[in-house]
Amino acid sequence: MFFVDTLKFEGLGNRSYLAGGARRAVVVDPPRDIDQVIAAAARRGARIVYVAETHVHNDYVSGGLELARVTGARYLVPAAADVAFARTPVEHGDTADVDEGLVLRAVATPGHTPHHTSYVLEDGGRAVAAFTGGSLLIGTVGRPDLVEPRLTERLAREQHASAHRLAAALDDEVRVLPTHGFGSFCSSSSQAAGDATTIGKERRTNDALTLDADAFVAQLLAGLEEIPAYYAHMGPANAAGPAPVDLTPPEPADAARIAERLAAGEWAVDLRGRVAFAEGHVAGSYNFEGDGRLATYLAWLIPWGKPVTLLADTPDQIAAAQRELVRVGIDRPAGAATGDPYTWIPAGDRLASFPRASFADLAAARERGEPVVVLDVRRAVERAAGCVEGAVHIPIHELHDRLDTVPPGTVWVHCAGGMRAAIGASLLDAVGRRVVAVDDGFESAAEAGLRVVGS
């Protein structure tokens, strides 16, 4: 008997896997905070004997090197990957005996990176699961443009060939277990609905397996979106060999210390929900909801290496945020404060605030003839499907560097659902602009009577 346990990381849109038998196990593409992987193996009563990387990751910092060191496992890394640490190099066709009758077989699947390798789990000689990393995803494939622009088209063609290599080698019922594709920006497009798939399902529905190479490559390249800025730091960190993480609580920050850090140009990030933040927050702080996509958006917007102080309701929220942030290389907050936000400001000072509104409120303001500026902070691909007539478009990941290009007036910031609008409103509020955060689904814009047009 074998098992496969899935570890989900919703903030990054990724998965890691623990697979094994009665006594021994392998971990595929582990997160940097390895304690939860070790705990999962302990619950199974299995010793981790292999740690396998499908590729040098560009979207998160791996815990593979540290996990192998702590557990004594062999660290399997594609042989062609250029890394600075000792590992067991893996070539196409190599096998590893995980447990009695349970074998891991390497399959070369270049495309997401030139060295990308998938791993097929075989039970008694029969393939039962394929860990496909950034190769074959659910309804799509991993993007081919993260390594080097001049390689993008070649890697796109290799993605097509790799998908067909897997489909030709595996039966329909074999489970496909990708690392990316659950909201990750490493995916070449939005994944199909669902949390699980098989080779048979992908054979019927995945464009990589239903289109010829030329049509697939043209479609793939046309659909590529922006690359998060922090990705530039992930590959080098993984190739060098990431350091262990320190998840001990950060230094407490009182009102004076928070003010001091803000005055020094550092970031104070308020993890509370956007409703609470809008009602009252430290002037100059930014709102990145802790239960949103904290790691992705904070790492994308913050100048790399900028110290950050975290503000939250509870210590547990700070701890959860720390765990999210170490996965993208933001290791030690400069400080943290919890509890009543009035304790985060000097006595006698007032909290800053700004209003929230719906698209119906925006329509009413326009109807009254108020001189409003509508700011759309969605991605370009979202805007292409329809936008509010007259709206200024600055994607949220560009806004911090383009604040001075936002037209004068009261700025009504919107996105698709409210989370990114809250981030954008907080960025503008911090520099003294009058803002209204539209906390509403974009589908309500037309229903409210606003004219929605093509971009």
User: Averaged over 162-173, what is the pLDDT?
Assistant: 98
The CATH code belonging to domain 3-240 is 3.60.15.10
- CB distance 269 to 312 below 8 Å: no
pLDDT digits (tens, 9 = 90+) for 281-339: 999 999 999 988 899 999 999 999 999 999 999 999 999 999 999 999 999 999 999 99
Architecture of domain 356-453: 3-Layer(aba) Sandwich (3.40)
Contacts of 187 (CB under 8 A, 6+ apart): 13, 137, 140, 141, 142, 143, 180, 181
At 10, the pLDDT band (50, 70, 90 cuts) reads confident
- CB distance 75 to 28 below 8 Å: no
For residue 193, the model assigns a pLDDT of 55
pLDDT digits (tens, 9 = 90+) for 235-271: 999 999 999 999 999 999 999 999 999 999 999 999 9
Domains 255-344 and 356-453 alike in fold: yes
- CB distance 4 to 28 below 8 Å: no
At 191, the pLDDT band (50, 70, 90 cuts) reads low
CA distances from residue 196 to 19, 107, 199, 200, 202 in whole angstroms, order as listed: 16, 21, 11, 12, 11
At 39, list the tokens: 């705990």
For residue 292, the model assigns a pLDDT of 82
- CB distance 73 to 48 below 8 Å: yes
Give me the numbers of helices (H) and strands (E) for the chain, helices first please: 16, 23
For residue 434, the model assigns a pLDDT of 97
Please classify residue 41 by burial: count the beta carbons closer than 10 Å to its beta carbon, then call 0-12 exposed, 13-18 middle and 19+ buried: buried
Domain map of the chain by residue range?
3-240, 255-344, 356-453
Question: Could you tell me how far CA 399 lies from the centroid of its own chain?
Answer: 19
Q: Quote the CA–CA distance of 429 and 406 in Å, as a whole number.
A: 12
pLDDT digits (tens, 9 = 90+) for 135-167: 999 999 999 999 999 999 999 999 999 999 999
CATH entry, 255-344, from 3.40.250.10, 3.40.50.880, 3.30.420.130, 3.30.565.10: 3.40.250.10
